[in-house]
Amino acid sequence: MGIKLTLIRQPTVPLEAEVLCPDTLADCSADEIAQLTIYHGKRQLPLSDFFEIEGEKSDEIEIHGDLKKVRWIGRGMSRGRLKIQGDVGMHLGAYMRDGLIEVKGDAGDWIGAEMKKGTIRIDGNAGGQIGAAYRGSRRGMRGGLIHVTGSAGLEVGMRMRRGIIVIGGSTRDFTGLQMKGGTILLGEGAEIRTGAWMNRGTIISLKALEVMPTFGIAIRQFTPPFMPLLAKALVSEGITLPENKSFDLYNGDLAVPGRGELLVLSS
Amino acid sequence: MLRITGGKVYDPANKIDGQIKDLNIDADGKFSDGQCDSRTIDATGMIVMPGGVDVHTHVAGGAINFARAMTPEDHRRTQAFIRTKTRRSGLGGMAPTTFATGYLYAGMGWTTVNEAAVPVLSARHTHEELADIPIVDKSTLTLMANNEIMLDQMEAGEYERARDVVAWYIWAAKSYGVKAVNPGGVAAWKWGGDARNLSSPIEGYNKLTPGTIVTQLARICDDLGLPHPMHLHCNDLGAPGNIKTTLDTLKHLEGSRAHIAHSQYHAYGGDGWETICSATAELAEYFNSHPNITTDAGAVIFGDTVTITADGPWQHLLYKLTGRKWGNLDVENETGCGIVPYTYRPSNLVNAVQWACGLELLLLIQSPWQVFLSTDHPNGGCFWRYPEIIKLLMSRDFRDECIKKLPSNIKNKIVLPEIAREYTLMDVATSMSAGPARALGLKQKGNLGTGCDGDVVIYDQEDDPGEMFAHPRYVIKAGEVIIDDGEIREAPDGREYIAKPFYDPATNDFMRPLFEDCYTMQFENYPVEIERVHGASIHDCKNDQDS
């Protein structure tokens, strides 16, 4: 059996709870879990002050409640499974190394920031800086998959190096900012400045979007040969790509100068 | 006040090489002959040395502060100092915060540091930061070799005037001496150029050459009777084949005292990045035959760091090479300033050559009184990694082990594998303390003799010198036990050494119109008031010409 945690009290200020991670909980008895330290603002409190805890010693974890103010869940996790019922706060799965995070609800900013491997699935909307590099870092996510069924915020995939981000809905400004590799798939397009400062990597939009003037058109009505491969890789994650579509391919950001690809579904 | 008994003492200034000797420190924090009957440290079986002196480091001021701001990624991963009763909070890492800088230096047994590059424009800021670096004593050097008001005097052939201007600036900055960085090159960069040889006129001037600046500035430092000679960062830093420029610079210094900063960066042969090789043998030979000149290694250690220097053109080049972050600070007409984070990798041929060059200079220059331990913190590596360098110097086996990890095509590019010399504890004590103290003209430092400052570091004797030097058993500053068994016990404020050279009182009136013509600040607000310097200790200079 797994561990079930239920939020019993709404934090008044953000609650930093990086102990909510399979790596930590898997070795803890129920008593030890209750005594793990979380930070309510600057105050250090035991986990049991905010959560009702059922089960012990498992890397299968379920968390219930409105967790919008709970940050750093699944930080650096390397195994197991985190299921979250309800909205969740910033930095979910940051520095993640493996395992699975599933959220039924909305997520905050910085999910999967600088992650290396593993999967994050959000059945809802998410904030900005998904899979991004933290301020000052050279690289964002280096592998793994982040799937958001709804929409997302600013700077999605900022400085990402490898891995896949799939956004079912639309994203806001600066998607793929300074991207260095990897793939971003946009179901409903993005707002402005998509791929700004992009070095390498691929942004695929299944809807027309505004292309920056520093991107040059390479070819129109083009069917990228890698699309069936990408579709095949994503099928196991429950994501279906439309078949036999053609795209307009742009290269940029020429202001860098970069060699990124921006593929926009041909009208 | 304090008595240290039974330790094996290494005190190069008094030629004590491992003899067992008792030390007494009086209530004023100085070594004395008389015995005192207060606390006694039994140092039997331990090694006793004078506290370390860093002749060239960057720990305070606009540039390092900008480096801190530019590297938040390092703050996330680095050592955190949590506040305790005796300790303020802070961060270690590539560019440690002020309080952490003091704790880290003292924790390693260093008790005096020389901040080697301060523009007068940020001198006030620098002194405020130095006040927040506890435990260690400090001094600063003023950047002069690209100061346009001074260069104009040299261009006009007004040597005396140039000398007065330099002295005026030193006192305005409340500094301890003169630093020259890429003489003329930074001024030329403001015209889009650089100065990579010593005999061509500098961009923006008709006849003034870097060679003239080098010769005259060294003479000015001597004439002003400054305790530390001109501290020179030569032209053409970091470039393959720059040994020619460096040797040419040294010839321009004949007859003067001088300290050559981070000479590792100035000892390369070859003519491009593919052909770069070590030319340390040539440079070391020069030092071996010219005992009036000292240097610090500016050794490179593999790993992440952030480079900061007044050498703006070089930093722009480094940014172009790395494609990483670049910061440039405008220091008006005084100097330049650039900041670029950098990672030295053993797999990178150029970095591997640099790593070898630093060690080669430390080993090939025969007298440890001439070549001092430094990494040009944080440029070649962080100061808290000095123990790693000591280990490399003391153990040839360890060096050979490290050389094996370098690219195979380095074979004919370095001489390090052939060097058999291993540092003795006496060599280490000279290179980390007695030598730099003497070069800085700090007679009371790096010396365990009567009347000198009671700064002592005591190590448990261990087989691994890296471990031994990283974790002293005791560190004592002015007779006070600062570190005991890895714990910071006290964190007193250090002193700041400043020099007061003589200048013609009319220099103030001469400077005013020139200043008002080109600076963005008010003349009255420019000089640092002596009250701003915390724990000031003024060194009166002997002026040969005017007194």
**Chain B residues closer than 8 Å to A137 by CB:** 73
Give a yes or no: residue A259 inside a domain: yes
Give a yes or no: residue A229 inside a domain: yes
CB contact under 8 A, A135 and B324: no
Q: What is residue B543's predicted lDDT score, i.e. its pLDDT?
A: 58
CB proximity A42 to B under 8 Å: no
Give a yes or no: residue A69 inside a domain: no
Query: How close does chain B come to A136, measured CA to CA in Å?
Result: 5
Closest residue, chain A, to B67 (C-alpha) = A136
CB contact under 8 A, A136 and B324: no
Q: Specify the pTM.
A: 0.92
Closest residue, chain A, to B324 (C-alpha) = A138
Domain of residue A113 covers 106-265
CB contact under 8 A, A138 and B73: yes
Q: What is residue B112's predicted lDDT score, i.e. its pLDDT?
A: 97
CB proximity B72 to A under 8 Å: yes
**Chain B residues closer than 8 Å to A134 by CB:** 72-73, 76
Give a yes or no: residue A206 inside a domain: yes
Q: What is residue B278's predicted lDDT score, i.e. its pLDDT?
A: 97
Give a yes or no: residue A237 inside a domain: yes
Give a yes or no: residue A111 inside a domain: yes
How many beta-carbon pairs under 8 angstroms link A with B? 13
Closest residue, chain B, to A199 (C-alpha) = B323
Q: What is the spatial distance between Cα B372 and Cα B363, in angstroms, rounded to a whole number?
A: 11
The number of folded domains in chain A is 1
Residue ranges of chain B with pLDDT lower than 70?
543-547
Residue ranges of chain A with pLDDT lower than 70?
1
CB contact under 8 A, B72 and A138: no
Give a yes or no: residue A38 inside a domain: no
Q: What is residue B540's predicted lDDT score, i.e. its pLDDT?
A: 82
**Alpha carbon of B355 to those of B176, B360, B420: distances in Å?**
30, 9, 17
B414-421: list long-range contacts, CB under 8 Å, 24+ apart: B414/B277, B414/B278, B414/B352, B414/B353, B414/B356, B414/B357, B414/B360, B415/B278, B415/B280, B415/B281, B415/B356, B415/B360, B415/B364, B416/B278, B416/B356, B416/B359, B416/B360, B416/B363, B419/B360, B419/B363, B419/B364, B420/B396, B421/B363, B421/B396
CB proximity A134 to B under 8 Å: yes
Q: What is the pLDDT of residues A169-228, one digit of tens each?
A: 999 999 999 999 999 999 999 999 999 999 999 999 999 999 999 999 999 999 999 999
Q: Is the peptide bond before B378 cis (omega within 30 degrees of 0)?
A: yes
Closest residue, chain B, to A133 (C-alpha) = B73
Q: What is residue B545's predicted lDDT score, i.e. its pLDDT?
A: 45
Query: How close does chain A come to B324, measured CA to CA in Å?
Result: 8
Query: How close does chain A come to B341, measured CA to CA in Å?
Result: 11
